[in-house]
Amino acid sequence: MGKRDIHDEEHVVRCCSRQKQVVDENGTVLGVTWEAFALRDVDKGYLSVALFETVSGDADTRLIHIRGQWDQSGFRYNPRKAVMAVCNTGIIREYGLKRACKIRVLHEPSRQNDAYSAIRRLPQDNGDIDLLESLASEAAVSIHPIASLP
């Protein structure tokens, strides 16, 4: 299964734990912090995401498919509290270029997960917080609690 650059008009989905969410007093998720896009040691130098447009249909259909791929591949997430941040690929690249960072967003499907994708060439030391904040605030165009999916 081949890799390809994801088009600017397409989107990728990042799973964000409760610890990276900003939540109001009613439990409504207002957004995610820049930390949701920070590289950790376990990330091996890139961010794991999922291609939103792997299947056609409405948002719920697409997110349910991604959730199923996560289950199939053994990716562990919190079904009650984690959220799926849908991010526009074009905006990711645009902010990367503004920060002199040629980010690549690639669809890298596998047998276990046909939606698997990666955001590569981010600054490895998380030193560019401006960039990470821009990704969290502008590239993340919608937030979907996994618990709200059928």
Partner 1 sequence: MTKATFDLGKVGAPSLVMSQPNRLSLLLSPSARETNASLISQKVACTPSNLRGQQVDNDQNPDERKIFENRSELKILISQVAMHISANQRHDFFKQIDDLLDQDEWMEEDSLINKSSFFSFLRFITYSINVKRPSLTVASSGNVGASWFHNRRRLSIEFMNDDTVRMVLSQAPDDKNEGEVFVYQGKTPRLNEVLQPFDARDWYLDGQA
DSSP run (H or E) holding 79: none
- Per CB under 8 A, 142 contacts partner 1: no
Note whether 66 and 49 are within 8 A (CB): no
Both tokens of residue 74?
């053994």
Comparing C-alpha atoms, which of 45, 50, 39 is closest to residue 10?
50
- CB nearer to partner 1: pick between 2 and 76: 76
Both tokens of residue 37?
């896009």
Q: Which residues inside 47-86 make contact with partner 1, applying CB under 8 A?
A: 76-78, 80-82
Tell which one of 1, 2, 9, 25 touches partner 1 (CB under 8 A): 25
Instruction: Give the binding range for partner 1 (CB under 8 A) out of 22-30, 58-66, 103-111, 117-125.
Output: 22-30
What is the smallest separation between the CB atom of 138 and partner 1, expressed in angstroms?
7
Residues ≥6 apart with Cβ < 8 Å to 38: 126, 132
Note whether 142 and 148 are within 8 A (CB): no
Tell which one of 31, 68, 90, 123 touches partner 1 (CB under 8 A): 31
Give residue 13's identity as a one-letter amino acid code: V
Where does this chain bind partner 1 (CB under 8 A)? 17-25, 30-31, 33-35, 38, 40, 42, 76-78, 80-82, 129-130, 133-134, 137-138
